Amino acid sequence: MKAVDVVKLVVSIAVPLLAGFGSTVWTINSIPTWYASLNKPWFSPPNVVFAPVWTILYILMGVALFIIWRSPRNRTRDTWIALFAAQLSVNIIWTFAFFGLQNGVLTIVPLWILIAVTIYQFYKVDKWASYLLVPYLAWVSIATAPNASVYLLNG
C-alpha cells in the first residue's frame, strides 16, 4: 500500500470516528439523566452496547469511504463521497435531535434513506464498500423501532 493510501485510510476512518466522538457532547449528560428517565420498550438495547457497536460501525464506514476514495477519480466518485458526507452529517444531526432536542424520530428516517442510497451507489463503484455499510443500515433499522417507541411512550 502506498503512503498516500495509508494517509487516506487513516483520514477515512478518523472522520466518522471523530463525528461520533464529537456527538458525545449531546449524549454524555443526557444518557444518565434524560435518557435514563424515559419509558423504553422492552426491546431497547442495553446502554453498554452502544459505544462498542457505534465504534465498529464508524470504523466500517471509514473503510468503505477509503475504498471509494481510493477508486479512480471522476465526477461520480466525488458525488458518492459527498453522499457519504451527507449521511454522516445526518447521523450527527440525529444524535443532536435525539439527545439534544430529545426527539430524533423525524431525522432517523432521512438517515436510513441516505444510508440505503449510499450503499446502492457505493455498490456501483465497489461492492465491498457497499457491504461494509450494511451493518450500519441494519443497526439504524433496528434503532428505528426503539426510537419511535420512545417517542410514542413519552409523548
Give tens-digit pLDDT for 9-60.
999 999 999 999 999 999 999 999 999 999 999 888 898 999 999 999 999 9
Q: Vertex 107, ends 84 and 144: CA angle to 5°?
A: 95
Radius of gyration of the chain (CA): 16
Cell of 146: 426503539
pLDDT band at 147 (very low <50, low <70, confident <90, very high): confident
Residues 6+ apart with CB under 8 A from 30: 99, 100, 102
Whether the CB-CB separation of 118 and 132 falls below 8 Å is answered with: no
Domains of the chain by residue range? 3-154
Residue length, the chain? 155
Cell of 85: 458526507
User: What is the residue-averaged pLDDT of the chain?
Assistant: 94
pLDDT band at 105 (very low <50, low <70, confident <90, very high): confident
Q: Which CATH class is domain 3-154?
A: mainly alpha
pLDDT band at 1 (very low <50, low <70, confident <90, very high): confident
Percentage of the chain beyond pLDDT 90 is 77
Distance CA 114, CA 136 (A): 11
List helix spans (H) across the chain: 3-30, 36-37, 50-70, 75-95, 105-125, 127-154
- Only one residue has cell 440505503, namely 116
On the question of pLDDT at 74 being above 90, the answer is no
Q: Name the burial class of residue 110, with classes exposed (0-12), middle (13-18) and buried (19+) by CB atoms within 10 angstroms of its CB.
A: middle
Distance CA 51, CA 119 (A): 23
On the question of pLDDT at 155 being above 80, the answer is no
On the question of pLDDT at 121 being above 80, the answer is yes
